[in-house]
Chains A and B, each alone.
Chain A
Amino acid sequence: DTAVSQTPKYLVTQMGNDKSIKCEQNLGHDTMYWYKQDSKKFLKIMFSYNNKELIINETVPNRFSPKSPDKAHLNLHINSLELGDSAVYFCASSQQGWETQYFGPGTRLLVL
């Protein structure tokens, strides 16, 4: 059973489009995260939710909007996609915010 899963794995789209990435964890964790890994492999946190409540909201364009329908799911919606949004987006989860985070397989987004 996959612990943290993401869909889709690959996303190729045109500038200006709107897209969503979905994340689900079956670990029973309370906290979920979105990270962006750029072309130089640098990882930066974007958002975190604890039990459906937004806890960390980094300085990202407001075109990015996370949504957590329940504590096992955290989705990321991106409006008006730009070339610079091309990256790998990782979802992660942890039991509590200070515990080890477990990462999903990543979604490779390419904006043309």
Chain B
Amino acid sequence: ELKVEQNPLFLSMQEGKNYTIYCNYSTTSDRLYWYRQDPGKSLESLFVLLSNGAVKQEGRLMASLDTKARLSTLHITAAVHDLSATYFCAAMEYGNKLVFGAGTILRVKS
């Protein structure tokens, strides 16, 4: 059974700083997804990573995938307050079942 672990679970950052969220998964997975959830809102798709070494960037967020290490990272560059949200990674299990990590609550302080 696929398990997905994120760390840290809570991250408080100063504006302008850089940080990385880590997502480990326990068994082989073809696809890794990152989602953002604002309080009381739905989940918004950020990235889908399909192969080893894949890197995607959107604004101040960059996601990467290392399938050999079963690790994905979400790097935040020069954080701004608007990035405050909960970030989820999710890996695709056999049978096209998406398994989510517990989420990382990000708070960016000015």
Listed in ascending order, the chain A residues whose CB lies under 8 Å from chain B are 31, 40-45, 48, 55-56, 90, 92, 96-98, 100-106
Contact = CB atoms under 8 A, between A and B. Distances in A.
A105 B42 contact: yes
B100 interface: yes
A8 B31 CA distance: 32
B42 A45 contact: no
Contacts of B33: 100-101
Interface residues of B, number: 23
Nearest to B46: A100
Interface in B52-110: 86, 88, 90, 92, 95-100, 102-103
Given A55-B96, A97-B96, A41 B102 contact: yes
B48 interface: yes
A26 B3 CA distance: 32
Contacts of B96: 31, 48, 55-56, 96-98
B45 to A, nearest CB: 5
A90 B86 CA distance: 16
Interface in B25-41: 30-31, 33, 35, 37, 41
